[in-house]
Amino acid sequence: MVVNLETKKIPAGRIAEDKVLRFSVGERISHWVHAISFFVLLFTGLGVLSVFFQPAMSIIGGVQVAMVIHRVSAIVFVVVVGMMFFIGNPRYHWRWLKFVFNFTKSDWQHVSAFPKEFFGGHGNYPAPDKFNGGEKINSLITILGTVFITLSGVVMWFASSFPPALVRWAYPVHDLSMILMTAAVIGHMYLGLLHPDSRAAMSGMINGYVSTKFARAHHGDWLERLEQEQKAYDDSEIINHRLDNRGKGSSF
């Protein structure tokens, strides 16, 4: 099923010479809108939540302004990313969900071997698919954290419309979601920006492509599958359009 989805519509062109398309434009928009609004929300939210961060709110004009920015960016955080699941080419978004909610045995093997690699060593685990166990956990924390922080946030925003007992529970839920996502994003940024091996993945979130070398080393199963699909597609192209040369298949 996953395989079919991946090859539909854009069967060729995912592998271009020494690089391979990992994230679609839509995925990258979602990621960065989510990332930027998350940090705006974190900054303004901490100003409301804690006296330690309150003085920093003078940068944006005080706690009251922070509360307004918090709500505006909350809408961006939820609505824009939510919309990306339905507009443009949302197939990638749904397939990502399918991947991360399918946590396999080899993902566990990756997760248990990964701490070694996190601190610069080498872990042994089966070649992961498009997402490895750690990436799936990061995605799951982000998805569940977003759902819970959004629901509790709605309750807190419209507190007078909800029973007090529900509002009282919304506070710890909102806080816990924030804590989990903040802890996750710290590790996420380290692996994306500072970790000598995995930071090669960063280009995937910038121009969409990662090097085939990186893909082979970190997502071997995924690259292998793409190569087979591309080959199968190219072969069928030759049969169907004998006059077309092979170059066309991979050039668009």
Partner 1 sequence: MTRKMVLVDTSKCTGCKACSVACKEWNELPAEKTKLITSYQTHKDFTTKTWTYMTFLEKYEKQSMNWLMRKAQCFHCADPACLKACSSNAIAKTESGFVVIDQEKCTGCGYCVENCPFGVPKVDPIKKKAYKCTGCIERVENNLLPACVYTCQPGALSFGERDAMLGQAKDRLAKVQKTHPKAQLYGEKEMGGTTFLYLLLDSPEVYGLPINPTIPLSLTLWKDVIRPVGGIAVGGAAAAVVIGVFANLFRGNYRQSDEKVENDSGDSDRKKGGKD
- Minimal distance, residue 175 CB to partner 1, in Å: 6
Of 86, 119, 161, 252, the residue at the interface with partner 1 (CB under 8 A) is 119
Nearer to partner 1, 54 or 150 (CB): 54
Nearer to partner 1, 24 or 132 (CB): 132
Site for partner 1 in 188-227 (CB under 8 A): 189-190, 194-197, 199-200, 212-214, 216-218, 220
The count of chain residues that interact with partner 1, using the rule CB under 8 A, is 52
Nearer to partner 1, 45 or 249 (CB): 45
- Residue 158, helix vs strand vs coil: coil
Q: Is 109 in the site for partner 1 (CB under 8 A)?
A: no
d(CA 222, CA 81): 25
DSSP code for 126: P
Sign of the C-alpha dihedral, residues 101, 103, 104, 106? positive
Residue with token string 């070694």: 116
d(CA 58, CA 135): 36
Burial of 181 (0-12, 13-18, 19+ CB in 10 A): buried
Q: Is 151 in the site for partner 1 (CB under 8 A)?
A: no
- Minimal distance, residue 245 CB to partner 1, in Å: 27
Site for partner 1 in 78-97 (CB under 8 A): none
- Burial letters 28-48, b for 16+ CB under 10 A, else e: bbbbebbbebbebbbbbbbbe
State the Rg of the chain over Cα. Answer: 21
Residues in touch with partner 1 (CB under 8 A): 48-51, 54, 63-64, 67, 117-122, 124-128, 132, 159, 164-165, 167-169, 171-172, 175-176, 179-180, 182-184, 186-187, 189-190, 194-197, 199-200, 212-214, 216-218, 220
